[in-house]
Amino acid sequence: MTKGRVTVIDIAKAAGVSKSTVSLVLQGSPLVNEATRAKVNVVMRELGYVYNRGAATLRQTTAKSRIIGMVVNDLTNGFFAELAVGVDMVVQSAGFVQFLANTAENVDRQQEVIASMREHGISGLIISPARATTALDLKAITEAGIPVVTAVRNVPGAKCSSLVSDNAAGTLQAVSHLVSLGHRRIAFVGGYPDTMVFEERLRGYMEGLKSAGIARQEAYVIASSASRAGGVEAISKALKLSEPPTATVCFNDAVAFGVCDGLRSQGIEPGRGFGVVGFDDVIEAKAAVPALTTISVDPQAMGRKAAQLLLRQINAGKAEAEAVTTAVRLVVRESCGQGFPARAETA
Amino acid sequence: MTKGRVTVIDIAKAAGVSKSTVSLVLQGSPLVNEATRAKVNVVMRELGYVYNRGAATLRQTTAKSRIIGMVVNDLTNGFFAELAVGVDMVVQSAGFVQFLANTAENVDRQQEVIASMREHGISGLIISPARATTALDLKAITEAGIPVVTAVRNVPGAKCSSLVSDNAAGTLQAVSHLVSLGHRRIAFVGGYPDTMVFEERLRGYMEGLKSAGIARQEAYVIASSASRAGGVEAISKALKLSEPPTATVCFNDAVAFGVCDGLRSQGIEPGRGFGVVGFDDVIEAKAAVPALTTISVDPQAMGRKAAQLLLRQINAGKAEAEAVTTAVRLVVRESCGQGFPARAETA
DNA sequence: CTGTTAGCGCCTTCAG
DNA sequence: CTGAAGGCGCTAACAG
Q: What is the 3-state secondary structure (H, E, C) of chain B?
A: CCCCCCCHHHHHHHHCCCHHHHHHHHCCCCCCCHHHHHHHHHHHHHHCCCCCHHHHHHHCCCCCCCEEEEEECCCCCHHHHHHHHHHHHHHHHCCCEEEEEECCCCHHHHHHHHHHHHHCCCCEEEECCCCCCCHHHHHHHHHCCCCEEEECCCCCCCCCEEEEECHHHHHHHHHHHHHHCCCCCEEEECECCCCHHHHHHHHHHHHHHHHCCCCCCHHHEECECCCHHHHHHHHHHHHCCCCCCCEEEECCHHHHHHHHHHHHHCCCCECCCEEEEEECCCCCHHHCCCCCEEEEECHHHHHHHHHHHHHHHHHCCCCCCCCCEEEECEEEECCCCCCCCCHHHHC
Count of CB atoms within 10 A of residue A236's CB? Answer: 17
Q: How many CB atoms lie within 10 A of CB B203?
A: 14
The rounded distance, in Å, linking the Cα atoms of B87 and B105 is 20
- pLDDT value at residue A267: 86
Q: Say whether A97 and B112 touch across the interface (CB within 8 A).
A: no
pLDDT at A272: 72
- The chain A residue lying nearest B58, using CA atoms, is A55
Calculate mean pLDDT across residues B256-270.
86
Look at A144-148, B11-15, B71-75, B336-340 and tell me which has the smallest mean pLDDT. Answer: B336-340
Q: Do A58 and B52 touch (CB under 8 A)?
A: yes
Question: Measured between alpha carbons, how far is A129 from A150 in angstroms, rounded to an integer?
Answer: 7
**What mean pLDDT comes out for the span A324-333?**
60
B27 touches strand D (CB under 7 A): yes
Task: State which nucleotides on strand D lie below 7 Å from a protein beta carbon.
Answer: 1-13
Q: Is the pLDDT of residue B82 over 60?
A: yes
Instruction: Check CB contact of A97 with chain B, cutoff 8 Å.
Output: yes
Check if residue A55 sits with its Cβ under 7 angstroms from strand C: yes
- pLDDT confidence bin for A117, thresholds 50/70/90: very high
Residue B341's pLDDT is: 26
Least-confidence region, from A95-104, A158-167, B67-76: A158-167
**Residue B76 is nearest to which of A85, A100, A121, comparing CB atoms?**
A85
The minimal CB distance from A99 to the residues B98, B113, B140 is found for B98
A111 touches chain B (CB under 8 A): no
pLDDT tens-place string over residues B164-179 = 888 888 899 889 988 9
Chain B residues in contact with A319 (beta carbon < 8 A): none
Q: What is the pLDDT of residues A249-265, one digit of tens each?
A: 999 888 888 888 898 88
Q: Do B58 and A53 touch (CB under 8 A)?
A: no
pLDDT at B281: 63
B322 pLDDT higher than 70: no
Judge: domain A8-49, CATH 1.10.260.40.
yes
B115 touches strand C (CB under 7 A): no
pLDDT at B249: 93
Chain A residues within 8 A of B45 when measuring between CB atoms = none
pLDDT for res B5: 78
Q: What is the mean pLDDT of chain A?
A: 84
Q: Do the domains at A67-165+299-326 and A167-297+331-344 have one common CATH topology?
A: yes
**Residues of chain B contacting residue A117, judged by C-beta atoms under 8 Å apart:** 97
Q: How confident is the model at residue A329 (pLDDT cuts 50, 70, 90)?
A: low
Share of chain A above pLDDT 70, in %: 86
Q: Is the CB of A19 under 7 A from strand C?
A: yes
Taking CB atoms and an 8 Å limit, are B288 and A339 in contact across chains?
Answer: yes
Contact B1 A145 (CB under 8 A): yes
What pLDDT score was predicted for residue B226?
87
Residue A20 CA to C14 C1' — how many Å? 13
pLDDT of residue B347: 20
Spell out the residues 6+ positions from residue B84 whose beta carbon is closer than 8 angstroms to its own.
A75, A100, A102, B70, B72, B75, B98, B100, B303
| Mean pLDDT value of segment B32-39 | 85
In this predicted structure, the answer to whether residue B111 has a pLDDT above a threshold of 90 is: yes
Where residue A190 falls (left for φ over 0; alpha for ψ -120 to 50; beta otherwise) is: left
Q: Are the Cβ atoms of B99 and A97 closer than 8 angstroms?
A: yes
Closest CA in chain B for residue A257 = B339
Domain residue ranges in chain A: 8-49, 67-165+299-326, 167-297+331-344
pLDDT recorded at residue B328 = 63
Cα–Cα distances in angstroms (integers) from residue B219 to residues A30, B170, B211, B215, B234, in the given order: 70, 22, 19, 12, 11
Residue B332 and residue B341 in contact, taking contact as beta carbons nearer than 8 Å:
no
Residue numbers in A near B285 (CB within 8 A): none
A312: pLDDT strictly greater than 70: yes
Q: At what angle do helices A107-119 and B78-93 cross, to 10 degrees?
A: 80
Q: What is the pLDDT of residue A118?
A: 94
CA distance A277 to A295: 7
> Domain B167-297+331-344 classified CATH 3.30.420.10?
no
pLDDT at position A340:
24
d(CA A44, CA A47): 5
Residue A243 and residue A229: Cα distance in Å, rounded?
Answer: 23
Strand C proximal to B25 Cβ, under 7 A: no
Nearest residue, CA→C1' of C11? A59
Contact A290, A276 (CB under 8 A): no
User: B347 to chain A, minimum CA–CA distance in Å?
Assistant: 11
Distance (Å) from the C-alpha of residue A186 to the closest C-alpha of chain B? Answer: 25
Report, as an integer, the average pLDDT of B31-52.
88
pLDDT of B329 higher than 70:
no
Comparing CA positions, the residue from A75, A74, A26, A56 lying closest to residue A121 is A56
State whether A84 and B99 contact (CB < 8 Å).
Answer: no
B119-to-A55, A93, A235, B127 alpha-carbon distances in Å? 10, 16, 57, 17
Contact criterion met (CB < 8 Å) for A85 and B102: yes
Percent of chain B with pLDDT over 90: 44
pLDDT at A241 over 90: yes
* Of B157 and A336, more confident: B157
Measured in residues, chain B has a length of 347
Over residues A203-232, mean pLDDT: 94
Q: pLDDT-based confidence at A290, cuts 50/70/90?
A: low
What A132-139 contacts at long range (C-beta under 8 Å, 24+ apart), as own/partner pairs, is A132/A107, A133/A107, A135/A159, A137/A107, A137/A110, A137/A111
pLDDT of residue A279: 78
B17 touches strand C (CB under 7 A): yes
Contact A287 B140 (CB under 8 A): no
The answer for residues whose C-beta is within 8 angstroms of residue B97's C-beta and 6 or more apart is A99, A101, A113, A116, A117, A120, B66, B67, B68, B91
| Residues B279-301: tens digit of each pLDDT | 776 544 444 555 677 787 888 88
pLDDT in tens, A38-51: 888 888 988 889 99
User: Is it true that domain B67-165+299-326 has CATH number 3.40.630.30?
Assistant: no
- In whole angstroms, what is the distance from residue B59 CA to residue B26 CA? 15
- Cβ-based contacts of A90 with chain B (< 8 Å): none
**Residue A340 CB-half CA count within 13 A:** 20
Strand C and B38 CB separated by under 7 Å:
no
Kindly report the nearest CA distance between residue B226 and chain A, in angstroms: 21
- pLDDT top residue among A211 and A21: A211
pLDDT in the model for residue A153: 86
Share of chain B above pLDDT 70, in %: 86
